[in-house]
Amino acid sequence: MAAPLTGQAMWGYGLSGAALLSFTVAILATKTASIRANLDLGFLVTLVVNVVFAGCALIVHTAMRESSFQWDALAFSMFAASGVFTTYLGRWLFYESVVRFGPAKASIFQVSSPLFVALIAWLLLGERLAIEVAFGMLMAIMGLALIAYKPGFLSLGKAGAQPRHANLLAKILNSVFLLGLFSSGAYAVGNLMRGAAVRTWSEPIAGALIGALTGLALHYFLSKDKASLMSRLRSAERRGLWLYALVGATNITGQIATIASMRYIPLSIAALVSLCTPLLVFPLSVWLFKNQDRLTWPVMTGSALTLLGMAMVVLRQ
């Protein structure tokens, strides 16, 4: 018989549930925004909004708090590193998968991120996995393979006239499995760093802001079209930019809530609940994008298998 939830656990599940709602809105808004404005430009808008929103939240929180703000250099470094994996790399790959393959298929891969969190924690932190948990993870991975499978979907093809590394990147971006897998792995590494950092430095808003600043700096310095940035912003459709701003606000809200929940519940469970977006994205995407994001029987069967496996992981933690 399962033990009753403590007050701390209730806080943890409540915060991760709020993150789930925020990420769901962000996923659906990304699909709509990408139709009206370029994804690369929109990604920059979301990162700027991340920084502004988190900065304002930190100012308000600092003004309302009773205790003084304490600095932790190690936790700062970990939050900054998590920004590389989540705010920049993981989110960019995930946005690409939403635009290329639709929110339903893209979001199911986010569910696999807690699997990577649990695996990394087992390898690096020595956390043992029960047999039921390992079986649930295997079931979820099988479900993901069923969702993504099509003939040749793992093939990288021939190099052709392009440089080998460029061709490899193109193949990753054009494979729902590889794109989702890389995005999920990046999120897992970043979430593990966030969880470790927030447990030594209880500042989830500051941590989210540090990660957002890191992601914004990386995107700006690695962007190829800095000179034309302002002209592109002026010529872009206003509604599309506002939708990307909504994506940025909801994403950073979800990040703050996820980081905060990691103080109260295990890292893999916090990541799982906050990233179970298919539970909401599937029905909403069918309703909103009837002709753009069809759900076939293999996708539905694989989704059910994945979610069942993840439920086994949660119940046996």
Mean pLDDT by runs of 10 across the 317 residues of the chain is 60 90 90 82 91 95 85 94 88 78 68 74 68 75 65 44 51 66 84 89 94 90 74 82 94 94 83 76 70 63 78 66
The answer to whether residue 294 sits within a structural domain is no
Dmax (CA) of the chain: 62
The answer to whether residue 148 sits within a structural domain is no
**Which value, in Å, is the radius of gyration of the alpha carbons in the chain?**
19
The pLDDT value given to residue 313: 66
* Total domains in the fold of the chain: 1
Indicate the SS3 state at residue 261. helix
> How far from each other are the two terminal CA atoms of the chain, in whole angstroms?
13
The answer to whether residue 182 sits within a structural domain is yes
The answer to whether residue 234 sits within a structural domain is yes
Token pair of 11 as six digits: 């806080």
The answer to whether residue 238 sits within a structural domain is yes
Token pair of 155 as six digits: 């093939």
What does the alpha-carbon distance between residue 247 and residue 99 come to, in Å, rounded to a whole number? 14
192, HSE (Cβ side, Cα atoms, 13 Å): 20
What does the alpha-carbon distance between residue 92 and residue 28 come to, in Å, rounded to a whole number? 15
The pLDDT value given to residue 294: 58
The pLDDT value given to residue 267: 80
CA-wise closest residue to 197 among 186, 215, 213, 209? 209
78, HSE (Cβ side, Cα atoms, 13 Å): 20
The answer to whether residue 85 sits within a structural domain is yes
What does the alpha-carbon distance between residue 147 and residue 305 come to, in Å, rounded to a whole number? 10
Q: What is the pTM of this model?
A: 0.78
The answer to whether residue 111 sits within a structural domain is yes
Q: Where are the beta strands (DSSP E) in 122-237?
A: none
Q: Which domain holds residue 85?
A: 12-121+155-289
If 0-12 CB within 10 Å is exposed, 13-18 middle and 19+ buried, where does residue 276 land? Answer: buried
Indicate the SS3 state at residue 204. helix
